[in-house]
Amino acid sequence: MEIELVPITLFASLALIAGLLIYFRFRTRREVQQTLRSAIDKGQELTPEILERIGEPRRPAQADLRRGVIAISLGAGCAAFGLVLGEQDAVQPLLAIAAFPFLVGLAYLSLWLFREKGK
């Protein structure tokens, strides 16, 4: 019974985290819309620049670099853990697990490298 609860708990916690992220993004957008409505009701002029700035939050220029470095570090840490453990049965699965964040990190670094410089 307890063994079956581990994967259920894992997937339930992942679903909870994803749900919270979606909810907080929704709440932030709703608050922005309420702010815009109150500004319009008070008669304030909304310029296209203000609407553009409020509409889509801009990602920092270094966001892909930061995510890439973190993902590569996670992959390297998992690989190092498997190699330090030294048991043959544990090394291959940990190296396989480490490959995923490592390759995602490489993808983020390539996105950062080939990004448009103006954005």
Q: What is the per-residue pLDDT for 55? A: 67
CA 27 – CA 34 distance, rounded (Å) = 11
CB 94 within 8 A of CB 82: yes
Q: What is the per-residue pLDDT for 20? A: 96
The amino acid present at 17, given as its one-letter code, is: I
Residue pLDDT, tens place only, 69-109 = 999 999 999 989 888 887 878 888 888 899 999 999 999 99
CA 47 – CA 74 distance, rounded (Å) = 44
Packed helices 88-113 and 63-85: angle between N→C axes, nearest 10 degrees: 170
Residue pLDDT, tens place only, 2-57 = 677 777 888 899 999 999 999 999 998 898 889 888 888 888 887 887 777 776 66
Calculate the average pLDDT of the chain.
86
pTM: 0.58
The amino acid present at 105, given as its one-letter code, is: G
Q: What is the per-residue pLDDT for 119? A: 55
Q: What is the per-residue pLDDT for 46? A: 79
Query: Max Cα separation, the chain?
Result: 71
Residue pLDDT, tens place only, 108-118 = 999 888 887 65
